[in-house]
Amino acid sequence: MINLISIVVALILATTSFALSILVLMRILRVEKLLLFIGSRAIERVARRRLKLVKRYILFEVHGFEGSAEELINIINRALGREIGRIGAAQCNVRLVLFSPTSLRGVLRIRGPYICMHQVLLALTTIRDFNGKKFIIVPLRASGSLKKLRKLFS
């Protein structure tokens, strides 16, 4: 009697697993057909759109800083490396486009994935001192074109 029950249970499990594997195979084939229908070019376009590099500009003002533009960009790069790491900082490609020592305003260019702008803004807010002297960097405006920020720069 026990052998008969165990045989019946084994048959039920075998047929159930066979049915499930057929369902999974059908779903895989359906996805494969869908991918062939969409085409590889469409998939490449979606992937490129996600990894597209963008250029953004940030207008900022410095309060309490006494130093050169080179020192300022070094401070910003160190803060960026501390916040997102060396590789992330290299991907963001931050450059100081404009800096006025009289008005203490400047424009940073960020060229990288879209998230870089937010990461640079985060790094700017963490900068508090340099060589024992306290200062802060206040981002005033972010833009996609330098022409708009040049008007606000002067």
pLDDT digits (tens, 9 = 90+) for 56-104: 999 999 998 888 889 888 888 888 888 888 888 888 889 999 998 888 8
pLDDT at residue 50 in the model: 59
State the Cα–Cα distance between residues 58 and 73, nearest whole angstrom. Answer: 13
pLDDT over 70 (residue 37): no
Using CB atoms within 10 Å of the CB of residue 108, give its burial: 0 to 12 exposed, 13 to 18 middle, 19+ buried: buried
Q: Which residue has the higher pLDDT, 47 or 69?
A: 69
pTM of this prediction? 0.65
Pick from 144, 139, 141: nearest CA to 55: 144
pLDDT over 70 (residue 133): yes
State the Cα–Cα distance between residues 8 and 3, nearest whole angstrom. Answer: 9
pLDDT at residue 111 in the model: 92
8 A C-beta contact, residue 150 and residue 102: no
Average pLDDT, the chain: 83
8 A C-beta contact, residue 126 and residue 53: no
Span 26-40, average pLDDT: 69
**Least-confidence region, from 36-40, 81-85, 89-93, 146-150:** 36-40
pLDDT at residue 17 in the model: 84
Residue % of the chain over a pLDDT of 70: 85
- E-assigned strand segments in the chain: 54-63, 94-100, 105-112, 129-130, 133-134, 136-143
Helix (H, G, I), strand (E, B) or coil at 134: strand
Record the tokens describing residue 149, joined without a space.
């920020």
- What Cα–Cα distance (Å) separates residue 47 from each residue in 8, 28, 33, 43, 111? 51, 22, 20, 6, 18
Pick from 112, 102, 97, 111: nearest CA to 150: 97
pLDDT over 60 (residue 46): no
